[in-house]
Chains A and B, each alone.
Chain A
Amino acid sequence: MDNQARMMGILKPLARPSGRFYVLLVLAGAAVAWFLFYAWPFQLRYGLIVTGLADWGSGGGVPWGVYIGSFIWWVGIAHGGIIISASVRLFKIKSLAPVARLAELMTIAALTIAASFIIIDLGRPDRVVTSVIRAFPLSINHSPLIWDVTVITLYFVMTGTYLLLTLRRDTHMLYDIMTGTRLPPERRSEVYAMRRRLPPFLAPLYRRMHIGYHQSEDKKVEQMVWFLALGLIILAPLLLHGGVIPWLFQLLPSMPGYFSAIQGPTFLSIALTSAMGAVLVIAYVFRRVYGWKELLPDRTFFVLGGALAFFALLFLWLQLQQIIWGSYAPSLGVAKVTEAKVESPFYWTAIGLVGASLLYLGAQLLYRPLFSVSRTVVAGLASVLAVFIEKALFVVEGLEYPAFRLYQAVPGQYSTTWVENSAILYGVALLVLLLMVMAKVIPVIEMKAEE
């Protein structure tokens, strides 16, 4: 694939949208609007009573449900971006380079959605800014929820900076294509072909995004991005999803389903499983829609599938640890919640999906002829779904089996309402919407050719 064909391919999504694009945009937009302008205001007007939540204890419900489950799910998915990007930069895994940018965009979108679920879950979201800022200097010392907010904000800022830095060179190139006049004759037709792909109204944006750019900065930016990647690859897995997110739960002895020192690695394995799955699905959609068989080659999917297999293996292994620990000679509270877990069809659905994905992906790693891109993507989709089920179940079941066992006369029960279902749909639709819009503005594959 020569450079010209490659560039033309990369610029494809930036061209005038098709009818199908608009149809999907309207559908995704409608789902988002339905939640933001009908379901959520309904909840704001009447309170969280419109959800299936209730008080644990004598109340016979669970105070956290699918909102918190979704929050963990989306934060987990957001990890895909940086794991892939950083592995490309730090460990020179070239086969993942084509999906690096796409994964970063997914990270930004998924983090936004995750943060919104925290707001959606609050009883008084109007107070969140004033109350949190007011108490921050003190509550940062002891509230795991504030640790979360802090680390996620840091993660968001670092990922955003990372993305903006890597975009400087690309936007400079785009701006040059759009406005460059002193073109050598042999490149003219080539540049004019590319220019036709680009919507002129984006030129001012591109100009601003590479403000002060000079070619000599490329090397410096490369170094900065390298250090950011190093920071992120430590921060995101070890402190965020293997840190403050599980700490929200695992530090609470009140709920035996949460209270466990192994929650950090468990959360991380689950998060990375869903992250790899999500990147697989998104990359596949772009490959199909824009015919990017060469830009997003089979090799990339194979490697992503291999990574997914590895994380799925960890996922299942850590589940095994918990079940063995919770059933051999457990304390009463742990016994109860483990029993509930292994009797839950939801749990086995999740385990079954991940197990099946692992079996297939593992087999194709060992025996290459089994490999197919679409089957790998199906395994990815199955993993993403499995993680959603597992996460929601984890939150709810933990609260259904509290340590204070005198409450077993009023066991916690939970089922979602239409408002919560709308919120789940809103999350997915918002990801689609954000990716669609971002793909129309910035190139989702880095323009710099691989040497």
Chain B
Amino acid sequence: MEEQTMAAGGSNADRFGADWEKRASDLLRTAHYDSDLGKQVAKDALRLVGGELSEAEFFERHHGAYVKEFGTDKRPVISDERLEKALTESLQGGYVSRRTLLKMAGGGALGLLLGYWSWLGSRAAGTVAGAAQGGLPGVAGAEEEPPPVTTKQYGMVVDLERCDGCIGLGTFARCTQGCSAYNLTSPGVHWIYVFSFKDENQDAVQFLPRTCQHCSNPPCLKVCPVRARFKRPDDGIVLIDYNLCIGCRYCEVACPYGVNYFQWGEPGPEPGFPVKARDRWVEARPPRGVMGKCTFHPMWQDDKATSGRVICAAICPRQVLQFGDMNDPNSVPNQYLKKKREEKGGYISTFRLLEEWGTRPSNLYIGNQPSAKARPVTPPITYEDVGLVSKRSDVLQGPDSWLWFKNAFRGD
């Protein structure tokens, strides 16, 4: 794409120096969408203004990238008539507002970047309008859901032989720390939780990080009465639609892994990024009265620049967590597995958690499966030592009811 663009706009190429790149990167960094795409669109828009590109060409050029980036793109503009049609649609609450489009076409580079920003915003607004027009989003989503046989299945290879719970680094569970910092989960909510245990005939404390297993036969999904719990058909991520969940906690009871954490009280601060992925509110900590759990960052996976990454794996100092498509032999986890197997002379011990329950979990663990005799122990450094809470029920304290009584009758 880069080369193609450069070739097409060779005369203007010098316009985009290092300074421009830096400014654009700074502006786009906070947007959780592909910044490269943003820059490309900005450059091409300037070429459009300079007459090097026709409008149709301009739209056609990035259509594929748009689809990849934002899920569906309802404006496959290939001719001027269709461009016109797209513009008309945009005025009726479609994708790109005319205002944004004008900015993109006629504005300077900076205005363009701003336009890109506001286009993101209008897109978000457009989804609400679209949902209102297109009927109930939940049903639409549910009906489109094919059986859980997917071509892609995100998951992890977890190398327990490498995991020391970060004790060697003088801390504990960097993965949990990163996860709760990024997702702003409440105290004691460990979407990735590190078990510390001793197995029989073993002296050393062992560690086992547990995320949501993003099962292919998820019991939580089966029991959900409102289909708020769903599995994305194209990448196998199991998510909760925070706008549909009624908070019955049946998924939590049905899940054998204990990965669900209900939002019992007021949630923490708002995350500073858009929390919708493919028009559904599924990212970061859930609102009050709604279930939450490890999400595998659907927004990141939908973004070309960040797909194949999750915060816990990225932050892990021992490279314990290898995240990627478990069905692709060339993916990071499978390559890791292959390498490990070669290193160990062809044989390594692997297991999946509670596989006998028939949930078909995605995560594959390298190492010895904890036996039935495995006893949990207190790790040398605990969650409390690193500023987290290990047992959530200790911190679930409702407000003083008497105070509320007084406030309720104070009359303000």
Hey, which bits of chain A sit against chain B, CB under 8 A?
A: 38, 42, 45-51, 53-61, 63-64, 118, 121-125, 127-128, 131-132, 134-135, 138-139, 142-146, 149, 248, 252-255, 332, 399, 402-410, 413, 417-419
Complex CA gap A134/B142 in Å reads 10
Residues of chain A with a CB closer than 8 A to B224's CB: 139, 143
Structural contact, B258 and A57, CB atoms closer than 8 A: yes
Question: 0/1 per residue, B190-217, Cβ < 8 Å to A?
Answer: 1001011100000000001000000000
Q: Which of A50, A55, A128, A134 has the most CB of B within 10 A?
A: A55
Using a CB–CB distance below 8 Å, which chain B residues touch chain A?
136, 138-139, 142-143, 188-190, 193, 195-197, 208, 219, 222-228, 244-250, 252-266, 288-291, 353-354, 357, 370, 372, 374-378, 390-394, 396-399, 401, 404-405
Q: List 29 A-B contacts (CB under 8 A).
A: A38-B405, A45-B404, A46-B404, A50-B401, A55-B189, A57-B257, A57-B258, A58-B190, A58-B390, A63-B249, A63-B252, A121-B248, A123-B288, A125-B246, A132-B246, A134-B244, A135-B142, A135-B225, A138-B139, A138-B142, A252-B223, A253-B256, A253-B357, A402-B258, A404-B256, A404-B354, A406-B195, A413-B393, A419-B401
User: Are A123 and B225 neighbours in the complex by a CB distance under 8 Å?
Assistant: no
B222 touches A122 (CB 8 A): no
Contact in complex: A59, B399 (CB < 8 Å): no
Q: Does B398 lie within 8 Å of A46, measured CB to CB?
A: yes
Task: Report how far A379 CA is from B190 CA in the complex, Å.
Answer: 48
Taking CB atoms, residues of chain B closer than 8 Å to A47 are 263-266, 288-289
By beta carbon, the residue of chain A nearest B398 is A50
- The 9 tightest CB contacts between A and B, nearest first, are A123-B247, A57-B258, A123-B289, A409-B376, A49-B265, A50-B398, A54-B393, A254-B256, A131-B226
- Chain B min CB distance to A245 (Å): 14
Docked Cα-Cα span, A142 to B399, in Å, equals 38
In addition to A54-B264, A60-B391, 7 A-B residue pairs with Cβ atoms within 8 Å of each other are A54-B392, A61-B396, A134-B136, A135-B138, A144-B223, A409-B377, A410-B376
The answer to whether A135 and B193 touch (CB under 8 A), given A54-B396, A145-B248, A253-B357, is no
Whether the pair A124, B401 counts as a contact (CB closer than 8 A) is: no
Please, which residues of chain B bring their CB within 8 A of the CB of A50?
398-399, 401
| Cβ contact within 8 Å between B227 and A138 | yes
Contacts of A406 in B (CB 8 A): 195, 197, 208, 370, 374, 376
Give the docked Cα–Cα distance between A252 and B225 (Å): 15
Asked if residues A61 and B253 are in contact (CB atoms below 8 Å), the reply is no
Q: Contact check, B370 vs A60: say whether CB atoms are below 8 A apart.
A: no
Q: Are B264 and A48 in contact (CB under 8 A)?
A: yes
User: Given the complex of chains A and B, what is the CA–CA distance between A254 and B357 in angstroms?
Assistant: 8
Query: Which among B193, B253, B404, B405 is the interface contact of A58 at CB below 8 angstroms?
Result: B193
Closest A-chain residue to B256, C-beta based? Answer: A254
- Shortest B320–chain A CB gap in Å is 17
CB distance from A123 to the nearest CB of B (A): 2
Give the Cβ gap from A273 to chain B, nearest Cβ, in Å. Answer: 25
Residues on B with C-beta less than 8 A from A255 are 253
CB neighbours of A332 from chain B (8 A): 372
Question: Contact: B392 with A59, CB < 8 Å?
Answer: yes
| CB of A217, distance to nearest CB on chain B (Å) | 40
Smallest CB-CB separation from B135: which chain A residue? A134
Name the distance in Å between A54's Cβ and chain B's nearest Cβ. 4
Give the residues in chain A near B208, CB-CB below 8 Å.
406
A252 with B254, Cβ < 8 A, contacts A55-B260, A55-B261, A59-B393 known = yes
Task: Provide the residues of chain A in CB contact with B354, threshold 8 Å.
Answer: 403-404
Complex CA–CA separation, A254 to B226 (angstroms) = 21
Q: What CA separation (Å) do A402 and B397 show in the bound complex?
A: 24
Q: A48–B288 Cα gap in the complex (Å)? A: 9
Task: Tell me the complex Cα distance, A144–B253, Å.
Answer: 12
